[in-house]
């Protein structure tokens, strides 16, 4: 990067942080901080969902898949399209009906309505821990991008990746602590437009020009790399098992449902988000990874896109596209921090307090909690090997414990609180144990498959032998 690129990049980052300061003064109470006053337009919410779900983690991860297996990696985000549209049809009408009556702030608030406070507290703990891991993965994505595009080989004698983890994490935490959900959603809109436009109109054409055109790209890639059939069926099944359920239990998504003014607006936002994930972002991400494979052989797959950006773009455009990728990282990390903060503050700390909090006190406690969670996420990011691993591990832990009880809350009247509690502990515990042991589960299926299966068995069995109030 030249000094012009650094100036463009710095100006963009300063503008984003400035928006955080702007909304810091606009947030009047905790409803403003967490659900944006319940009157945000569907276009902003839809773009925010796409930016949050794809974000930097999946953007870097998609590039890695494009490098490793080619265009077939785009099927990863097809699961997002399915999840978004299923949620719009079956989940949003039920959630908004309850929200209109009770004015909810979090996903565990919904579970508390159906099962009681004990289930909601455990769900908040599982969700909060899961989003902590997800935030760590996003910080790692930003650090990889910074190390691959902005930093020299060593900074003050420190490994550039570790230095970038601290710097990137600090920027994300500062912006999120200040702004709340309004800043998150409105900047997500800008960040998604910048990311999508930067990759489609600048990065991809420049990469193809550097390679020598589409024909030269085909010659440089391994056989089948531009096919959609190279992904292993078991891999696609595992993606569906792990990712689709997040649309049912994702705290970031419930916050946005509550931020929409009504059911119609929420549905429109979800349909829009699904289309922006697949095919829009899916093919751009893997195509850039494939271009990276043609230009740089033998490097870590998730460093292909950062290397490509650093190498192929002319002066000025590099700063824009790097800023676009950093925007994607921030758009996901800030949402995950808000989700984890909402879980720990609204669903745990506030419920354990003997006295109700004043609105400004609530906001202040939320900001402190967001800061602490952000620091923990930076530390956690140091333990992840790849961005995609971090994302999928966090997803697996959450969906294994929460999917079945949440489905029961929506669709099975016989489900009980005791069944939900037992299912959460069994499913989440099994998945976490498999992940910590590090061994491959039988048949090559994802840990979340076995977690969900055990959760379902326990949930049905315990619910059938307990009363609805237990």
Over 60: is that where the pLDDT of 154 sits?
A: no
| Confidence tier at 81 by pLDDT (50, 70, 90) | very high
What's this model's pTM, rounded to 2 decimal places?
0.82
pLDDT digits over 428-458, tens only?
999 888 887 877 888 888 888 999 999 999 9
Over 60: is that where the pLDDT of 209 sits?
A: yes
Q: Average the pLDDT over 78-93 and give the result.
A: 95
Phi-psi region of 81 (alpha: psi -120 to 50; beta: other; left: phi over 0): alpha
Per-residue model confidence (pLDDT) at position 292 = 92
Over 90: is that where the pLDDT of 417 sits?
A: yes
> Which of 58-62, 98-102, 169-173 is the least confident region?
58-62
Pick the CATH number of 3-386 from 3.40.50.150, 2.30.42.10, 1.20.1730.10, 1.10.3720.10: 1.20.1730.10
Q: Which residue has the higher pLDDT, 315 or 418?
A: 418
Q: Average the pLDDT over 77-83 and give the result.
A: 93
Per-residue model confidence (pLDDT) at position 391 = 65
Q: Average the pLDDT over 80-88 and give the result.
A: 95
| Confidence tier at 308 by pLDDT (50, 70, 90) | confident
Over 80: is that where the pLDDT of 56 sits?
A: no
Q: Average the pLDDT over 147-154 and give the result.
A: 66
């Amino acid at each position: 990067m030249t000094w012009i690129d650094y100036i463009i990049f710095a100006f963009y980052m300063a503008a984003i942080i400035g928006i955080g300061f702007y909304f810091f003064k606009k947030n009047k109470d905790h409803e403003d901080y967490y659900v944006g006053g319940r009157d945000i337009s569907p276009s902003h919410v839809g773009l925010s969902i796409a930016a949050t779900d794809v974000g930097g983690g999946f953007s870097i991860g998609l590039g890695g898949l494009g490098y490793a297996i080619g265009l077939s990696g785009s099927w990863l985000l097809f699961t997002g399209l399915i999840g978004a549209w299923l949620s719009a049809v079956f989940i949003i009408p039920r959630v908004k009906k309850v929200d209109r009556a009770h004015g909810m702030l979090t996903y565990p608030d919904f579970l508390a309505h159906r099962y009681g406070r004990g289930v909601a507290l455990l769900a908040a703990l599982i969700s909060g821990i899961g989003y902590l891991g997800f935030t760590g993965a996003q910080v790692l994505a930003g650090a990889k991008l910074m190390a691959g595009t902005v930093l020299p080989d060593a900074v003050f004698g420190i490994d550039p990746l570790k230095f970038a983890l601290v710097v990137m994490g600090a920027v994300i935490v500062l912006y999120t602590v200040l702004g709340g959900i309004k800043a998150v959603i409105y900047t997500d809109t800008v960040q998604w437009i910048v990311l999508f436009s930067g990759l489609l109109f600048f990065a991809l054409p420049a990469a193809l020009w550097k390679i020598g055109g589409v024909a030269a790209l085909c010659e440089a890639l391994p056989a089948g790399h531009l096919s959609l059939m190279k992904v292993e069926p078991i891999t696609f099944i595992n993606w569906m098992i792990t990712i689709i359920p997040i649309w049912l239990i994702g705290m970031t998504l419930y916050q946005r449902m509550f931020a929409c003014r009504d059911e119609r607006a929420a549905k429109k936002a979800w349909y829009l988000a699904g289309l922006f994930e697949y095919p829009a972002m899916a093919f751009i991400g893997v195509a850039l990874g494939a271009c990276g494979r043609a230009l740089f052989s033998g490097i870590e797959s998730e460093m292909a896109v950062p290397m490509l950006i650093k190498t192929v773009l002319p002066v000025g455009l590099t700063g824009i596209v790097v800023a676009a990728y950093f925007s994607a990282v921030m758009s996901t990390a800030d949402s995950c921090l808000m989700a984890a903060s909402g879980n720990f503050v609204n669903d745990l700390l506030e419920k354990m307090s003997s006295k109700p909090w004043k609105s400004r006190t609530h906001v202040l406690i939320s900001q402190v909690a967001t800061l602490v969670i952000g620091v923990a996420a930076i530390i956690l990011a140091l333990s992840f090997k790849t961005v995609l691993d971090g994302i999928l591990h966090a997803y697996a832990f959450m969906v294994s414990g929460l999917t079945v009880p949440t489905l029961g809350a929506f669709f099975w009247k016989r489900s009980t609180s005791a069944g939900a509690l037992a299912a959460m502990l069994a499913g989440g515990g099994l998945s976490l144990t498999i992940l910590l042991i590090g061994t491959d589960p039988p048949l090559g299926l994802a840990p979340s498959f076995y977690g969900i299966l055990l959760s379902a068995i326990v949930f049905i069995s315990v619910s059938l032998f307990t009363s609805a109030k237990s």
